[in-house]
Amino acid sequence: MSRLYLVGTPIGNLGDLSPRAVEVLGSVDFIAAEDTRVTLKLLNHFGIKKPLVSYYAHNLRERGQVIVARILAGERCAIVTDAGMPCISDPGEDLVRLCAEAGVPVEAVPGPSAAVTALAVSGLPTSRFAFEGFLSVKRNSRTAHLAQVKDDPRTLIFYEAPHKLLATLNDLLEAFGNRRISLARELTKLHEEVRRTTLSEAVEWYAEHPPRGEFVLVVEGAQVRLDEPPTLEEAVELVQALAAGGMSLSDAAKEAARQTGYKKGELYKHSLNVPVPEQEG
């Protein structure tokens, strides 16, 4: 049956293209690709021959209509981008909307996404997070964006290009203060690296060591501001919340001690008597 397939492709390691993705790419009538040269290399590697149409930021308005018309006429289309999941800081969102409006079925063939992969290896809380994509290069929009998320307690995920990394780290430090950050570089590739550090140390490091490759920045969320000194009960609740978010009880007690001023040992001891609440989902 005619439809649009959203096909996730590797963010580096070709071994991450799923067998189902290979099967779908080999069986559709045509493939809409962000950069047909990049996709051709992927298809050649897997021995797949398919007609390609380009679908990228600057032609998506008229090209989207053409693609939907072809699907409505009975064809099956797969959309892919240069790497990762379509629609995530990549073309696709607009096409899915057009398909939804036209009643065209959309099926996901999920693959890796740099954002979620970087979050998973960050060592920062993963139970609640916000994907912030790329910061604008325009100073005003950039400042407004950072001001908007400054007090968000969720872990924040940003994409960044290497030549803008240092400026972005400086802006994050200025807007957020010295928070923890995990920088995931070249995920799934030969020079994969995860640097778990603080914003000020990251600024120092990359001022000395010019960044190369692709980066995802995973930044600690805002600490909950407590206007009055927290009670012991509140501090123990914080330990429980951090533990429920995936931290070990010992790390949760350490973090809560840092945030509340209570002694880690005291919080740990009291937390042992309180059962960790079950996580949703």
Q: CA angle, 106 as apex, 116 and 46 as ends, to 5°?
A: 65
Q: Which stretch binds ligand SAM (CB under 6 A): 48-56, 102-110, 149-157, 185-193?
A: 185-193
Give the nearer residue to ligand SAM in terms of CB position, either 17 or 235. 17
* 159 binds ligand SAM, rule: CB under 6 A: yes
CB 195, CB 202: distance < 8 Å: yes
CB 162, CB 186: distance < 8 Å: no
Among residues 90, 132, 220, 255, which is the contact residue for ligand SAM, using CB under 6 A?
90
Minimum CB–partner distance for residue 102 and ligand SAM (Å) = 24
Minimum CB–partner distance for residue 127 and ligand SAM (Å) = 21
* 197 binds ligand SAM, rule: CB under 6 A: no
Integer Cα distance of 205 and 209 in angstroms: 6
Among residues 88, 149, 175, 244, which is the contact residue for ligand SAM, using CB under 6 A?
88
Strand order in the sheet with 106-109: 52-54, 30-33, 77-80, 4-7, 106-109
The stretches of the chain forming alpha helices (DSSP H) are: 19-27, 36-45, 60-72, 93-102, 114-122, 139-149, 165-176, 199-208, 232-244, 249-260, 264-272
* 55 binds ligand SAM, rule: CB under 6 A: no
Tell which phi-psi region holds residue 181, choosing left (phi > 0), alpha (psi between -120 and 50) or beta: beta
* 211 binds ligand SAM, rule: CB under 6 A: no
CB 219, CB 183: distance < 8 Å: no
Give the nearer residue to ligand SAM in terms of CB position, either 61 or 163. 163
Q: Which stretch binds ligand SAM (CB under 6 A): 19-27, 41-49, 168-176, 212-220?
A: 212-220
Among residues 2, 36, 54, 89, which is the contact residue for ligand SAM, using CB under 6 A?
89
* 186 binds ligand SAM, rule: CB under 6 A: yes
Beta strands at 77-80 and 155-160: parallel, antiparallel or unpaired: unpaired
Among residues 4, 124, 181, 187, which is the contact residue for ligand SAM, using CB under 6 A?
187
* 161 binds ligand SAM, rule: CB under 6 A: yes
Integer Cα distance of 129 and 155 in angstroms: 4
Give the nearer residue to ligand SAM in terms of CB position, either 12 or 64. 12
Integer Cα distance of 220 and 124 in angstroms: 7
Beta strands at 106-109 and 129-134: parallel, antiparallel or unpaired: unpaired
Residues 214-243 that bind ligand SAM (CB under 6 A): 214-216
CB 106, CB 35: distance < 8 Å: no
Nearest-CB residue for ligand SAM:
84
* 34 binds ligand SAM, rule: CB under 6 A: no
Chain residues binding ligand SAM by CB under 6 A are 11-12, 81, 83-85, 88-90, 113-115, 159-161, 184-189, 214-216
